[in-house]
Amino acid sequence: MTDREKDVEILAVRHQLGVLHRQLGNQRPRLRSEDRALLAALLMPLARATLRRLQLLVSLDTVLRWHRDLIKRRHARVSVNRAPGRPRTVASIRWLVLRLANENPSWGYRRIHGELELLGVAVAASTVWELLKTAGVDPAPSRTTVTWADFLRSQTEAILAMDFVEAVTLTGQRQYILAVIHHASRRVWIAGTTAHPTHVWVTQAVRNLLMDLEDTGHAARIRFLIRDRDAKHPALIDDVLGSAGIATVLTGVRMPRMNSVMERWVKTLRAELLDRTLIWNQAHLRHALREYERHCNEHRTHRSLAAAAPLRAQPQPLEPAQIERLTIGRHDRLGGVIHEYRYVA
């Protein structure tokens, strides 16, 4: 369309509007909502001086009001799903705050907020406080109690536990087994067996144990040895251990839970070996204990080690082809008292 044709069309439209004004007189024109939206969108880009010169069915203020209503409805549609107030904290930040509070009972919300800032997580301290309160986490002074079990778990690499285990042979002779276990690795040492646990024998057994620890590389990490108050432990062994930098921790009277790791292993030893084997004499007992020590250190799984053994890493999962041709072999110890199963390639 040429400019002349546009001018002719505009003049014709203006003349028609004049005719409509004469016919309507003082009557108010009826416009629908879509008419108002269209006129507001078309006329608002024009300058106000231009709008005043145009012959419109309504006043300029009415057009401006239509435009404000149009913008208001647009914003209402955009924010219709937004909840009032500040937006909800990201789920990953909520989980991180609760994790820090769970793993560090002595940390208050200010300390947790400082750790989050160190990690580059921008969140207000009041938000951390609100997250902890909503999750039902008590303030730091109410959850800073450190139990004996928590202390042991934090010091497992540096702790040994020692205890005597009694066994009776078929001849009625009572044998005393001196056993030691490392808390972190769950490695077991049978320090010796004897029918007469004299102070001299126990002291020598402890010296032999220290030499084994030096050979296996554990001596540099061990700092504590937990034992009970049995009279079979001479005071001299504390001096022997102290010369190697190992402090002795005595359990409370009638408090076996203070040496729970050792007590648990003693129960396992009885259930898996001593209660299922007829011990002929001291030589037979030592042979059985050597086999069981190897079984515990090289094969038997431990839940605390994620199904690994103290001297064997966790095995890799089998491939689908290996599972389809699953071939498992059995190795017997002590004539079949203990069974060990291995994958046969």
pLDDT at 207 > cutoff 60: yes
Number of domains comprising the chain: 4
Q: Does 230 lie in the same domain as 185?
A: yes
Overall average pLDDT of the 11-37 stretch: 72
Residue 242: per-residue pLDDT: 93
E strand or H helix at 161, and its extent? Answer: strand 159-168
270 and 162, same domain (yes or no): yes
**Are 26 and 38 within one domain?**
no
**Residue 195 Cα distances to 81, 190, 230, angstroms:** 81, 15, 16
Is the domain of 228 the same as that of 270? yes
Whole-number Å distance between alpha carbons of 275 and 338: 12
At 259, is the pLDDT very low, low, confident or very high (cuts 50, 70, 90)? Answer: very high
Do the domain assignments include residue 344?
A: no
One-letter amino acid for residue 25 of the chain: G
| Model pLDDT, residue 17 | 75
Predicted local distance difference test score (pLDDT) of residue 151? 73
Question: Largest Cα–Cα distance of the chain, in whole Å?
Answer: 132
φ, ψ of residue 193 in degrees (nearest 5): -135, 145
DSSP 305: G
Q: Determine the Cα–Cα distance for residues 29 and 50; give it in Å rounded to an integer.
A: 22
Q: Is the pLDDT of residue 155 over 70?
A: yes
Q: How far apart are CA 130 and CA 209, in angstroms?
A: 54
Residue 270's CATH number: 3.30.420.10
Cα(17)–Cα(125) distance, integer angstroms: 65
Identify the pLDDT of residue 55.
64
Residues 176 and 297 grouped into a single domain? yes
pLDDT average, residue stretch 30-45: 75
Indicate if 42 and 97 belong to the same structural domain.
no
Task: Give residue 81's pLDDT band: very low, low, confident or very high (50, 70, 90).
Answer: low
* pTM for this model (two decimals): 0.62
In a shared domain, residues 215 and 242: yes
pLDDT single digits (tens) 208-231: 999 999 998 888 889 999 999 999
93-102, 292-301, 317-326: segment of lowest average pLDDT: 317-326
Same domain, 53 and 202: no
Q: What is the pLDDT of residues 308-326, one digit of tens each?
A: 899 888 878 888 887 888 8
pLDDT score at 320: 83
Residue 56: which domain range? Answer: 32-82
Going by C-alpha positions, the residue among 55, 51, 58 that lies closest to residue 35 is 58
Q: Residue 22 pLDDT > 60, yes or no?
A: yes
pLDDT at 85: 65
Do 158 and 292 fall within a single domain? yes
